[in-house]
Amino acid sequence: MIIHVNQRPCEAQTGDLLLHVAQHNKSHIGYICGGNGICQSCFVYVQEGMEHLSPLSNVEKACISEKLLAEGGRLACQTVITGEGTIRLLTRAEKLRRIVLGLNVPGFITYAQTIGYNVLNKLPDCAGSAALRIRNGELNPGESLRKIGAGLGHASLFVSASFLETFAFMQLPLSLITGGASGMYTMASDAVCSVSGGAVHLPGSTCRRHEPEKTASVHTVTISGR
């Protein structure tokens, strides 16, 4: 199935985490904590298709304010696709990027106020939820670090893909680069066809570009030692 993350069509399947869908399709999403439901950087706004997603988890209830829940807020690391249908998401990271690039000062002020409200009101509950999960063995610090490391690979792919999309004029076909290198190698190799029998054979009738039955050298240099 296809869902849309930041207006980008993304391949997805029932049972996929929204976080993994965004990562594998190089969509702009935050995941500082590696998907452990701690940092809230994978926050998304569900613009359409909430009915095709898993119910709110206890982690989401602890970390997301009622105000953001009312706006369709979810944590992508906690939300699973449960059925096929139209799903459209806007990630918090992408929303902030658009505000900054658009020099939208009023939008930035509103955004900062909303995030500040969520932090002040939900940070204690979110931290308490993380501590409880660690105590109950539901959150393993070692596994958390592994997830963070794995996320770095997806982040690098997103950065490279975004750079090429943004600066398309800088893209050069790989064939042009490799073709140029190959051409230089051919020119260099043809400068001296062979060295054998104490003679250097310059391009000519003994060069590999000529008929094999013609074996006379155009020019030979005798090399002697004392």
Q: What tens digit of pLDDT does each residue of 32-48 get?
A: 887 888 888 899 999 99
Residue span(s) of the chain under CATH 3.10.20.30 come to 2-170
Q: At what angle do helices 92-101 and 105-135 cross, to 10 degrees?
A: 160
pLDDT by residue (tens digit) across 190-223?
444 444 444 545 544 445 444 444 445 455 556 6
SS (H, E, C) the chain: CEEEECCEEEECCCCCEHHHHHHHCCCCCCCCCCCCCCCCCCEEEEEECHHHECCCCHHHHHHCCHHHHHCCEEECCCCEECCCCCCEEEEHHHHHHHHHHCCCHHHHHHHHHHHHHHHHHHHHHHHHHHHHHHHCCCCCHHHHHHHHHHHHHHHHHHHHHHHHHHCHHHCCCHHHHHHHHHHHHHHHHHHCCEEECCEEECCCCCCCCCCCCCCCCCCCCECCCC
Closest by CA position to 5, among listed 79, 62, 67, 111: 79
Multiple choice CATH, 2-170, 3.40.80.10, 3.10.20.30, 2.130.10.10, 3.40.50.970 = 3.10.20.30
The C-alpha atoms of residue 60 and residue 117 are separated, in whole angstroms, by 16
188 falls in which pLDDT band (50, 70, 90)?
Answer: very low
Mean pLDDT of 117-139: 85
Q: Specify whether the CB–CB gap between 119 and 40 falls below 8 A.
A: no
Task: Give pLDDT, residue 211.
Answer: 46
114 falls in which pLDDT band (50, 70, 90)?
Answer: confident
Residue 108 tokens read as 């930035």
Rg (C-alpha) for the chain, rounded Å, is 30
pLDDT by residue (tens digit) across 48-66?
999 999 999 999 999 999 9
Residue 102: count of CB within 10 angstroms of its CB: 10
